[in-house]
Amino acid sequence: MNHCSTIWTRAPLYLSGEMEAAERDAFEAHLAKCPACTLKIADHRNLDAALRSALGDLPDAGRVEQVVQRKISADRRRQRMAWAGAIAAAVILAAGAALAWARWSRAPEWYADAALDHRTEVIEGQPRHWRTGDAELAGVAARAGLELGQITALGAPGYRLERGRICGIDGERMLHLVFSNGTREYSVFVASHPGPARPVRTVRRGAEQVAGFETGHYRGVVVSEGSAVECAELAQAAAGRL
Amino acid sequence: MGLGDVDFERVVLPHARSLLRFAGRLTGNSFQAEDLVQETLLLAWRGFRQFAPGTNAHAWLFQILMNVFRQEKRKGRSRLATEPLAHSVAATQTSGHEAVEVMQAVDRLDSDQRMVLLLAVVEGFKCREIAEILEIPIGTVMSRLSRAREAMRELLSEVVR
């Protein structure tokens, strides 16, 4: 570091103490043999000292701090209120969703009527005027807006349509069909019913398992003595064939 | 009051006075300086979660202050810029003929040079820190600093020697 111009490029690092040891040694070696640079550095040091003396006092920032503290408190209040509002909204939303789900997923009351009909008419065998044979069954199917082929297809594999009759459930005429595999019987209640399609819903009513379906054009239930899964599969299959 | 609030008061608020000192020289107006520091501290509060504990809070705060100052300048705002410097924070700090001469010389500097000089000498920042605060290359900091010192040396030849 032999040139004065280099010295003045790097001098700020020397004065701020940021210079690496090797560079600092070279810098000081130059100062040792250059009175002009030595004087300049001394002047800069004196200048810095004069500046610190003139401007170094710290002003009172009490007023600024007070205003800032007040605004921070207001900020915190706003944040707390925003959180409280968000939590309240979330709670209301969750409660609404739970209520809607409970209503939506609850099995309708008429499922119980269908279960009772199955118990009295199929399990207990109380006398009813059942229709049997293709001709009679086609007749009752037509009264429910269905064709014979449609109602026979509602049965699970291995089951055949044994008998059927029109009954009143939930203020509506429904076709009550009984399918049998020779040892077991289950009921399918079905009626034309325009409305939204819904997934199968199951409910237990005493010994009977009920699984309801709504296809958008028809609604119905399957009532059996089997498990909920088995009953739901029967209902799913019936809905798929309508 | 949570831990974050305590930390903010412990880490940030002690720098309020040096921020105000610098802002006073930067704006030349005590009310504008207070506004600038308030805005800086509020931004620091809102961004305090991003501040890494153990790092240089002093430089971080000056960086925020310079960002606010630049934004205000870009928007062309000169809020409350009616208070003359003679009534402001800077002029109430010291007394004596020599001090007045020094302050007058500082005010005659080009604003870029003045900023660098005050940050280095009065606020005690290293050249590397000033480069980060002002978002300029360190070489620019060094050349501005050298030129500022030379200008001051000429303006205050009697005071310096």
Tens of pLDDT, residues B7-48: 888 889 899 999 999 999 888 888 899 999 999 999 999 888
Would you call B146 and A12 a contact, using CB atoms and an 8 Å cutoff? yes
pLDDT (tens digit per residue) in A83-129: 999 999 999 999 999 887 776 666 678 888 899 999 999 999 888 89
- Taking the Cβ of residue A14 and every Cβ of chain B, the question of whether any pair is shorter than 8 Å is answered with no
Say what the alpha-carbon torsion angle A149, A151, A156, A159 is, to the nearest 10 degrees: -80
- Taking the Cβ of residue A71 and every Cβ of chain B, the question of whether any pair is shorter than 8 Å is answered with yes
Residues comprising chain A, all counted: 242
pLDDT at A104: 64
pLDDT at B156: 86
A201's CB contacts (< 8 A; 6+ apart) are A105, A107, A211, A212
pLDDT (tens digit per residue) in A50-63: 999 988 889 998 99
Minimum mean pLDDT range among A112-116, B95-99, B120-124, B137-141: B95-99
Long-range contact pairs involving A227-236 (C-beta distance under 8 Å, separation at least 24) = A228/A202, A228/A204, A231/A186, A231/A202, A232/A200, A232/A202, A233/A156, A234/A156, A234/A186, A234/A188, A235/A200, A235/A202, A235/A211, A236/A200, A236/A211
In angstroms, the CA B8 to CA B14 distance is 10
Nearest to A54 among B46, B102, B128 (CB): B102
What is the DSSP secondary structure assignment for residue B95, as one 8-state letter? -
Residues of A in contact with B143 (CB under 8 A): 9
CB A47, CB B153: distance < 8 Å: yes
pLDDT-derived band at B5 (thresholds 50, 70, 90) equals low
Which of A5, A7, A44, A51 to substitute to test the interface with B, most B CBs within 10 Å? Answer: A51
* Domain edges within chain B: 1-93, 94-161
pLDDT-derived band at A32 (thresholds 50, 70, 90) equals very high
pLDDT at A112: 86
Minimum CA–CA partner of A54 in chain B: B99
- Taking the Cβ of residue A51 and every Cβ of chain B, the question of whether any pair is shorter than 8 Å is answered with yes
The reply to whether B1-93 and B94-161 are identical in fold is: no
pLDDT at A207: 85
In angstroms, the CA B127 to CA B120 distance is 7
pLDDT at B79: 46
Minimum mean pLDDT range among A186-190, A205-209, B17-21, B133-137: A205-209
For chain A, what is the HEC assignment? CCCHHHHHHHHHHHHCCCCCHHHHHHHHHHHHHCHHHHHHHHHHHHHHHHHHHHHCCCCCCHHHHHHHHHHHHHHHHHHHHHHHHHHHHHHHHHHHHHHHHHHHHCCCCHHHHHHHHHHHHHHCCCCCCCECHHHHHHHHHHHCCCCHHHHHCCCCCCCEEEEEEEEEECCEEEEEEEEECCCCEEEEEEEECCCCCEEEEEEEECCEEEEEEECCCEEEEEEECCCHHHHHHHHHHHHHHC
Minimum mean pLDDT range among A158-162, A194-198, B147-151: A194-198
Nearest to B127 among A13, A53, A65 (CB): A13
pLDDT-derived band at A223 (thresholds 50, 70, 90) equals very high
CATH number of B1-93: 1.10.1740.10
A180: closest CA among A166, A160, A199, A163? Answer: A160
pLDDT at A75: 83
pLDDT at B4: 64
- Taking the Cβ of residue B130 and every Cβ of chain A, the question of whether any pair is shorter than 8 Å is answered with no
A182: left (phi over 0), alpha (psi -120 to 50) or beta: left
Given a cut of 70, whether residue B95 has pLDDT beyond it is no
Minimum mean pLDDT range among A2-6, A186-190, B55-59: A2-6
Would you call B45 and A68 a contact, using CB atoms and an 8 Å cutoff? yes
pLDDT-derived band at B94 (thresholds 50, 70, 90) equals very low
pLDDT at A92: 93
Q: Looking at domain B94-161, does it have CATH number 1.10.3190.10?
A: no
Would you call B127 and A48 a contact, using CB atoms and an 8 Å cutoff? no
In angstroms, the CA A239 to CA B43 distance is 63
Residues A237-242, mean pLDDT to the nearest whole number: 88
From B145's Cα to the closest Cα of chain A, the distance in A is: 7
Given a cut of 50, whether residue A28 has pLDDT beyond it is yes
Would you call A64 and B98 a contact, using CB atoms and an 8 Å cutoff? no
pLDDT-derived band at A212 (thresholds 50, 70, 90) equals very high
In angstroms, the CA B42 to CA A71 distance is 8
pLDDT at B41: 95
